Amino acid sequence: MSNTLASTNNSPTILLTTLNARFAHTAIGLRYLYANMQHLQGETEIMEFTINDALQDIAEKIVARNPKIIGIGVYIWNVRECAILTEIIKKVSPQTHLIIGGPEVSYNPLRIEFPHVDYIIQGEADLAFYQLAQTLLAGIVPTQTTIHAAPVDMATLALPYDFYSDADIAHRYIYIEASRGCPFRCEFCLSSIANQVRNVETEHLRIILEKLWQRGARNFKFIDRTFNLNIKIAGQLLDFFLSKSAPYFLHFEVIPDHFPEALKNRLAQFPAGALQLEIGIQTLNATVAERISRPLKRENIDRNITFLDTQTQAHMHLDLIVGLPGETIESFANGLNELYALSHSEIQIGILKKLSGTSLHRHDDQFGMVYSDQPPYDILQNHQIDFHTMQKIKRFARFWDLYYNRGNFKETLPLLWHDGDVFGHFYAFSQWLYAQTESTWKISLERLAEYLFQHLAEQHPTQINRIGATMIHDLMKHGDRKMPGFLKPYSDGRYKMGVINTALGTTPTQAKLTTGTHNKRQKRHQ
């Protein structure tokens, strides 16, 4: 499925494109390029696709526009597809100038080769792309095929927000950038390379947000690496949304140890369903955290996570990483158990990736770090976790997302870890589950439920009625599902037509979500 911002010409001179991970996403990078095309903007067009679209069909649609220059945004989720796409386009339209840019090609070594492109822009291409296009259209052949773009001055950069279409606003996320850069030096993260933070002028951004709001935008994802770094700016932006009436949805990435009272007071005012916080914990092992140059202020983290969990209605994603240099399975397990004890929010279990440009490689020899050379460049093994065990942990992470993070089994899952050993019991369950499925993909919700029921029944045969009743409670509490057949013997009349019968059973806590919010996953976690 494609999304197009057309040029004023029937056949654009310049076409900007990328493959988004899904249709609901929008490419803010392409819109930055378009906003800064100056006199060439009228000859420029944006066409967006997804990684699920057929590559030859994408190439056909692009080439049919007959552009002289094609710019492609390359990211870790689309790099393989982009390499194939450039090969197809160059073979059928060899005269077209192909230019690529984006995080995945901005740092050496390039893990996926692009032999069919003409130019690579490494770094911030917002202005460099226009300059290169202008040069090519003037008939000048640049002497360098790799252009190194310097960081831009955010004060003089044309911003991209007028170029979200009405369809984008109605159906897709609107990405907002209040700042670029990150002051921290976390060795696994590309943002640590350019540690100077540059802010967009806040009042100007508030005017932009108001314009988007008046156009109907309600789903905003801020892409700042550390939204709560500057509390004054964060407060002004939060005040903008607090002045608006729900429903709306905001997404921010924040650090866990910097929540002064002024920020806490604002966060506590947001209604349920309005606010999602991505909180990078990564590890709770102080030695490992220090090794990868990530500050770990444990007392602050514990206090702030507890506050967010108990005093706000924000939905949290707490991030942990498997495979960090020197971290054992036991250390990771302790971290997961401790984090679960702090909060019942989502815990995203990521697998360590070695990205070109980061300094993570300095640990390779000492800790035997071995990574895949294919995207997403995830770790295969190290001295602490062998390949066989790492595979088990990757399946653990996938099943954890299916069962815990998606919120369908909020009360049933704790029956697995009644003694508090969350990792140990779920790890055993994940191995048992994989033995049944031999897959971690395309498992329906009903099958997931039946597997969990079967496993719990085998572990606790005398509690089968409680297990069945609890699972019915989980699956049916929103009243929009058909009860699985295997659970009907345990319904005991508490549900009728998928709706809770409060006269016969206990009404579960209802999600306090604002009417109309889009985020069903959040509802399941309330």
Q: What is the Cα–Cα distance from 74 to 174, expressed in whole angstroms?
A: 19
pLDDT band for position 517 (50/70/90)? very low
The sign of the CA dihedral 469, 472, 474, 478 is negative
Half-sphere exposure of 66 (CA within 13 A, CB side): 3
Position 266 pLDDT exceeds 90: yes
Give residue-wise pLDDT tens across range 176-198.
999 998 888 899 998 877 668 99
Q: H helices of 312-369, where?
A: 329-342, 364-367
Give residue-wise pLDDT tens across range 456-470.
999 999 999 999 999
The reported pLDDT for the residue numbered 498 is 46
pLDDT band for position 209 (50/70/90)? very high
Position 24 pLDDT exceeds 70: yes
Which H or E element spans position 263?
A: helix 261-267
The reported pLDDT for the residue numbered 494 is 61
Position 27 pLDDT exceeds 50: yes
Average pLDDT of every residue of the chain: 92
pLDDT band for position 399 (50/70/90)? very high
The reported pLDDT for the residue numbered 501 is 40
Q: Residue 281 burial (CB < 10 Å; 0-12/13-18/19+)? A: buried
**Percent of the chain that is helix, strand, coil (3-state, to 5):** 40, 15, 40
The reported pLDDT for the residue numbered 440 is 94
Q: Residue 502 burial (CB < 10 Å; 0-12/13-18/19+)? A: exposed
The reported pLDDT for the residue numbered 516 is 41
pLDDT band for position 11 (50/70/90)? confident
Q: What is the mean pLDDT of residues 82-101?
A: 98
The reported pLDDT for the residue numbered 196 is 83
Of 146, 133, 19, 148, the closest CA to residue 70 belongs to: 133
Give residue-wise pLDDT tens across range 111-137.
999 999 999 999 999 999 999 999 999
Looking at residue 184, its amino acid is: F
Position 505 pLDDT exceeds 50: no
Looking at residue 516, its amino acid is: G
Position 89 pLDDT exceeds 60: yes
pLDDT band for position 499 (50/70/90)? very low
- All structural domains of the chain: 3-149 (3.40.50.280), 173-385 (3.80.30.20), 405-526 (no CATH)
Give residue-wise pLDDT tens across range 154-167.
999 999 999 999 99
Q: What is the Cα–Cα distance from 252 to 44, expressed in whole angstroms?
A: 31
pLDDT band for position 500 (50/70/90)? very low
pLDDT band for position 336 (50/70/90)? very high
The reported pLDDT for the residue numbered 520 is 72
Q: What percent of the chain has pLDDT over 70?
A: 93
The reported pLDDT for the residue numbered 8 is 59
The reported pLDDT for the residue numbered 464 is 95
pLDDT band for position 420 (50/70/90)? confident
Q: What is the mean pLDDT of residues 501-519?
A: 37
Q: What percent of the chain has pLDDT over 90?
A: 85
The reported pLDDT for the residue numbered 493 is 64
